[in-house]
Amino acid sequence: MLNNINFKIVLFLLFGFTITGCTNLDEEVFSEITEDSFVPAEEDIVALSASAYTPLRYIMGWQGLFDLQEESADIFVTPTRPNGWDDGGVYKRMHFHTWNETQWQPRNTWITCFNGINNINRVISQLESGDLPVSAEQANAVIAEMRGVRALYYSILLDTHGNVPILEDFSDEIPQQRSRQEVYDFVVSELNSVIPELTETVDQSTYGRLTKWGAYQLLARVYLNAEVYTGTAQWEKSLEASNQIINSGKYSLDPNYSNIFTTENQNSPEIVFAVPYDYIYATEWSQHMKMLLPSHRDVFNMQAQPWGGSSANPQFIDSYEEGDLRLENTWLMGDQLDADTGEVLFTLINEIPSIYESDATDGFRCKKYNIEAGATGSLSNDFPYFRYTDVLMMKAEALLRTGNSAEAAEIVSEVRGRSFDNPEEATVTGEELEGDTTWEYGTLDENGNIEDPGDQSPVEYGRFLDELGWEFAAESRRRTDLIRFGVYQTKNWFNHVPQGDHTTLFPIGLEELNTNTNLQQNPGY
């Protein structure tokens, strides 16, 4: 949350204030900094990076990256409700994997990422031109940071669309499409190039910015998915990048799981890179409005009335182990009480008859991100894009896949430890992690029973995939994990049946194809 006026650098990154005016909240707010609106003094150079970061706030916005990653996966479902939510079939297409080249969630990701990339290229051009009054040392530091953030945007596109143009210059030239392999190579090369130049400082001055450790985590994540992206696994390289962060000693597990996602989460010891939000100045966070029922306004004493759409797939809820506190820390369940009177307003049940028809109270609702009293249509919780638990779990997965299941189990048990009151229940073995998923996959009938089991072949390391689901539910990543484990394109869940391998990439938007004749549609569309 950005309510601490001493976070000058974060205010810079998000709102475009100058340093000399950052304590004046009556200042006019700009979404980005341009040559016409800002002439920097030497000490103000970091403000130029604002426009690189602001597009990332789309992640938790309307049909942003959260929807792309979660609505197409197996944890969230948005069925038709009494108050609507058919929305022309947009959420059903995401669930069924029958999207097309006009589907907004994939187009929103494409457009937003290239907006960020173009902003970055403009900043780099400004710095390389020598027209700005900054030292070469400062210019080089900001350019390295900008290249790292550009690699972050390309890592998203690498994952979602694969075959995209690579833009390194701020120009009007019509870009050429590149292969997924070339995009992967570009991301890896850029990160390895800039990591030595990025700051190692972890404090308020670097909060919300990509540091050396954030770049290492991005590199580890790209390597973790390398086999999907290129056909060649890079488990050892992912392990090496993860160890760089672990050995730095800069981060630790937050002893309280919920603290990572609370409104004032900027001091959590495990946030490596956050996308800051604020309910007044950075208002794109709207996912809570989509998840909560209208009557939750009285449960949380909210100033806004939620819309009541998304809920948890009952199959996922049923997969939690007894004693796992992440269940109650992530989901609203059962009786929902009036905040003032304690009266039971309604009861949430773990049942959804069909994606085509459901009652308002069908399905548990996400509460992972704290809803503070007086919440509006936008939250101030910062989104933990990279957190230390993911570093540990990437290391565990790399170890598991390279034959060291015992050490992997030790790491997973450590992560589980804060979410179980009984230490014995938190402990898992390497043999368990190597085993099949505990999920009961298959499409459901209106009574919640398996109607079509679909492919029931074992999922390699499926039990580890379960751990990723329980730990990282609602963190805009489930689709990527499912693809890596071969579940996304093979398994049935809720009302979904697989549509083929081509769905692991989204189609390039029709408007983008029409405006750039160098682009070819992804296979299968």
- Determine the pLDDT at residue 35: 53
- Determine the pLDDT at residue 277: 97
> Domain-by-domain residue ranges, the chain?
42-279+384-501, 286-366
Q: 130 falls in which pLDDT band (50, 70, 90)? A: confident
Task: Tell me if 381 sits within 8 A of 264, measured CB to CB.
Answer: no
- Provide the token pair at 333: 């369940």
Lowest average pLDDT, out of 12-16, 435-439, 510-514, goes to 12-16
| Amino acid present at 478 | R
Report the distance separating Cα 357 and Cα 211, nearest Å.
46
- Determine the pLDDT at residue 285: 96
Q: 54 falls in which pLDDT band (50, 70, 90)? A: very high
- E strands, 194-315, are 271-275, 311-312
Report the distance separating Cα 120 and Cα 146, nearest Å.
6
Tell me if residue 444 falls in helix, strand or coil: strand
pLDDT at 28 over 70: no
Helix (H) or strand (E) holding 65: helix 65-70
Length of the chain: 525
Once rounded to an integer, what is the mean pLDDT over residues 412-429? Answer: 97
Task: Tell me if 357 sits within 8 A of 456, measured CB to CB.
Answer: no
pLDDT at 10 over 50: no
Once rounded to an integer, what is the mean pLDDT over residues 276-281? Answer: 95
Per-residue pLDDT of 330-366, as tens digits, reads 999 999 999 999 999 999 999 999 999 999 999 999 9
Sign of CA dihedral 8, 9, 15, 20: positive
- Determine the pLDDT at residue 131: 76
Q: Which residues pair with 493 in a beta bridge?
A: 442, 496
- Determine the pLDDT at residue 8: 35
Q: 170 falls in which pLDDT band (50, 70, 90)? A: confident
CATH 1.25.40.390 fits 42-279+384-501, yes or no: yes
Please give the mean pLDDT across all residues of the chain. Answer: 92
- Provide the token pair at 506: 């989204």
Provide CB contacts within 8 A for 129, sequence distance 6+. Answer: none
Strands 334-337 and 493-494, how do they pair? Answer: unpaired
- Determine the pLDDT at residue 437: 98
Query: pTM of the full predicted structure?
Result: 0.93
- Determine the pLDDT at residue 173: 85
Per-residue pLDDT of 65-124, as tens digits, reads 999 999 999 999 999 999 999 999 999 999 999 999 999 999 999 999 999 999 999 999
- Provide the token pair at 31: 């979404």
Q: How many CB atoms lie within 10 A of CB 349?
A: 15
Per-residue pLDDT of 192-243, as tens digits, reads 999 999 999 999 999 999 999 999 999 999 999 999 999 999 999 999 999 9
- Determine the pLDDT at residue 40: 58
Please tell me what DSSP assigns to residue 165: B
